[in-house]
Amino acid sequence: MAVSERTAAAVENGSFIRKMFERGNELRKKYGDDAVFDFSLGNPDAPPPAVFEEKIIECVRESGANKYGYMSNAGYPQTRAVIAGRVSKEQQTRLTADDTVMTCGAGGALNVVLKTVLNPGDEVLAVAPCFMEYRFYTENHGGVFKTVPAAADFGLDVDALEAAVSPKTAALIINSPNNPTGRIYSDESLKRLGEMLLRKRKDTGRTVYLISDEPYRRIVYGGRTVPSLFDKYPHSVVVNSFSKELSIPGERLGYIALNPAAEDAERMRAGFVLCNRILGFVNAPSLMQKVIARLPEDCEVDISVYDRRRQTLCKALSEIGYEYAEPEGAFYLFVKAPSGDDAADCERLARYNVLTVPGRGFAYPGWFRVSYCVADKVIAGSIPAFKQAFADCQGGKS
Ligand SMILES: Cc1ncc(COP(=O)(O)O)c(C=O)c1O
């Protein structure tokens, strides 16, 4: 067999998100676009800010030798300086360009960080529900992935995390605002998390690297903000991307920002740069790096579009009787499966051409995810189906 057993198994199990997306394509072929209500993917649909495209044109029109050439594996110094300024404000800690590395999206950044910190058999913890690519990214680099359930309100359960940290734990990944719950972890809980990790470091003699995956940091509602982390735990690193905040996931631009106070910071930086290269990314896309360096600091998509959809969906689903976690950020609604069986409830919805993702695809069965980065008409058109599926479930119809 040419395909490795591990890859064959991964292909077989696939991702629930991708499976639902494929199912959507089949249904669209059969019933037409307007009859399918696809809430499966987190593909941002708010248009990128106009200035983003203006800056692309500006960069393309400029002449210069090696305009699209290789650069230092860490990225253009000017772009890294812009990122350092941005993260310094978010993290209440002064970073320099040297603390940052430009990457191919947050996904690329996570792979680079994990490759840098993992020895074979080391464990990586994440808070469930979570983005399940973390498992693949961990296994890519010989690590063992484990999830620890969030608290009942989907905030951090620091006691449960404390119980899970062992001498084998190399890293903990947190994601706030969270995909799929939309929860923002509170300042207080991050403080407790930092204290716990420092305590554990004393007990086990091993430093757990805290990786904060923040692609939704700027997609927050009701005037909320995402608290800083670097001032709460030194051995920390932020990974982020422009995929969601500028609606450019296909352009693959992200970054790593290292807490300058982290243990072994000098060697970590060198590790990130090397791993960015030897994973085959070499460097992040050059044109996008140039564009990002020229954008105004507060440049992001108009998130009022997502906020409106969030409110419409929450109101409609709660009127029907569904329970859900009130999203504080990102563009996902995590809904409690009315029958308790997330796969059965998603299947019931799919029979009415409504596509959602079962919570087991986020290591959290019993719930399902509805992604609301979709047109208003998709939300409006889906409500009768959500109603019918709920009634079927109450009536015991499978
Ligand atoms: C929580 C989370 N982390 C990372 C990513 C990957 O983002 P990128 O497109 O920047 O690689 C996603 C994408 O959906 C995500 O939801």
pLDDT band (50, 70, 90) for residue 121: very high
Distance between Cα 5 and ligand 1 center (Å): 26
Ligand 1 geometric centre to CA of 188 (Å): 25
Q: What is the mean pLDDT of the chain?
A: 95
pLDDT in tens, 159-201: 999 999 999 999 999 999 999 999 999 999 999 999 999 999 9
The pLDDT of residue 18 is 72
Q: List domains and CATH numbers for the chain.
A: 5-48+302-394 (3.90.1150.10), 50-294 (3.40.640.10)
CB atoms within 10 A of CB 376: 12
pLDDT band at 296 (very low <50, low <70, confident <90, very high): very high
Pairing between β-strand 37-38 and β-strand 169-175 as defined by DSSP bridges = unpaired
Give the pLDDT of residue 398: 64
- Tell me whether strands 324-325 and 332-336 are parallel, antiparallel or unpaired: antiparallel
Tell me the best of 18, 135, 241 to mutate to test the pocket of ligand 1, counting ligand atoms within 8 Å of each CB and taking the most: 241
- 21, 179, 292, best to mutate for ligand 1 pocket (most atoms within 8 Å of CB): 179
pLDDT digits (tens, 9 = 90+) for 223-246: 999 999 999 999 999 999 999 999
The DSSP string of 292-313 is HHHS-TT----THHHHHHHHHH
Rounded Cα distance between 40 and 19, Å, is 9
Q: How high is the pLDDT of residue 396?
A: 74
C-alpha 115: how far from its chain's center? 18
Question: What is the distance between the alpha carbons of residues 98 and 336, in angstroms, rounded to a whole number?
Answer: 44
Phi and psi dihedrals of 288, rounded to 5? -65, -35
C-alpha of residue 110 to centroid of ligand 1, in Å: 9
Protein residue with least CA distance to atom 13, ligand 1: 42
Q: Answer yes or no: is pLDDT of 209 > 90.
A: yes
> What confidence score (pLDDT) does residue 33 get?
87
pLDDT tens digit sequence for 374-390 = 999 999 999 999 999 99
CA 216 to ligand 1 center in whole angstroms: 9
pLDDT higher than threshold 90 for residue 208: yes
DSSP result, 40-104: ------SPPPHHHHHHHHHHHHS--TTTT----TT--HHHHHHHHHHHHHHHTS---GGGEEEES
Q: Can you give the pLDDT at residue 24?
A: 85
* Confidence check: pLDDT of 65 > 90: no
Mean pLDDT confidence for 80-108: 98
The pair of three-digit structure tokens given for residue 74, joined into one six-digit string = 């860490």
Q: Please tell me whether residue 147 adopts helix, strand or coil conformation.
A: strand
AA letter at 372: Y
Residue 11 confidence (pLDDT): 83
In a 13 Å sphere around the CA of 148, the CA atoms on its Cβ side amount to 23
CA of 106 to the centre of ligand 1 (A): 6
- The Cα 184–Cα 308 span in angstroms is 19
